[in-house]
Each structure stands twice: as structure tokens, then as C-alpha cells.
Amino acid sequence: MHELTLVEGIISYILDIVHEKGGHVVSFKVVIGEFAQFDKNLIKDLLLELVKGTELENSKVMVEIEKAVVTCLCCNSKWGMDELLKPLNNDQREMIHFLPELLNSFSRCPNCGKSCFEIEKGRSVRVAEVKLNV
């Protein structure tokens, strides 16, 4: 259901942009950060369903997954999501799905053992591009 809330937010936001800037939306691209742990096809289906009957109905919808890159600020090592989430239980993974920064609460750097991560890429869902024909 978290997915639905975000997808509604995305569509509403793009509609606000088109109302403000004028013209019509040719395409828009949504990037799903790996930490959000969303299914790409589900997000695309929700977007296609919810644009029906709106000014975005004929826009090209693109959805991409962005692999996570996490830097340990203590030892400068870089990690992917799987390496950091592997030791965690399902409840902890669920918390990180909502708030990826909680990685610092639950995970440890495999290199130095500390928890001072910064998420460089793949944090959550974002609108990477909206292309307007004005």
C-alpha cells in the first residue's frame, strides 16, 4: 500500500508541473531505488492504471531500478544493498523499506564493523525526468 501512496504522489506532482508550466507530458521516468524494495512491474502497472483519465494518459511511462551504492563514512568502503541487508531479519528489512537511513541502526559495515553509512544511490523512489511538449 506504501507503493500506491507514492505512485499517487508522483502522478499528482507531475500533473501540478504540467498545470504550472503548460503544454503536455510526452514522457516521464520514475526511478526506483533498490532500497525501496518495490517490484518494478507493480509500480509500472500502478502508474499505467492511475494515469487513465488524466492528462498523462498518453504519456510514455518509463520505470527503472537503480542499484544501491552505500558508502561507509568511517572506512570509505562501498557496498551494495544485498551485502548490507543479508544479515538482517524481515522486520528490520521492512523498516529500511520505509526509511532507508535506518540501515545505520540495523546494519554494520562488513569491512570496519561500524555504522556510519551514507546512501549514494538507490535510496528510494524519485521522478528522474518529466519531458514536456510546450
Q: What does the binding site for other proteins look like in residue numbers (CB under 8 A)?
A: 1-2, 4-5, 9-10, 12-14, 16-17, 21, 23, 26, 73, 95, 98-102, 104-106, 115-116, 118-119, 123-124, 126-134
Least separation in angstroms between residue 112's CB and other proteins is 14
Smaller CB distance to other proteins: residue 13 or 86?
Answer: 13
If you count them, how many residues does the chain have? Answer: 134
Smaller CB distance to other proteins: residue 53 or 134?
Answer: 134
CA distance 9 to 15: 10
Name the β-bridge partners of 108.
none
Smaller CB distance to other proteins: residue 56 or 100?
Answer: 100
Smaller CB distance to other proteins: residue 64 or 101?
Answer: 101
Cα angle for residues 11, 44, 18 (degrees, 5° grid): 25
CA distance 17 to 75: 41
Least separation in angstroms between residue 99's CB and other proteins is 6
Given a contact cutoff of 8 angstroms between Cβ atoms, the answer to whether 49 and 13 are in contact is no
Given a contact cutoff of 8 angstroms between Cβ atoms, the answer to whether 14 and 125 are in contact is no
Given a contact cutoff of 8 angstroms between Cβ atoms, the answer to whether 122 and 81 are in contact is yes
Least separation in angstroms between residue 80's CB and other proteins is 18
Least separation in angstroms between residue 84's CB and other proteins is 14
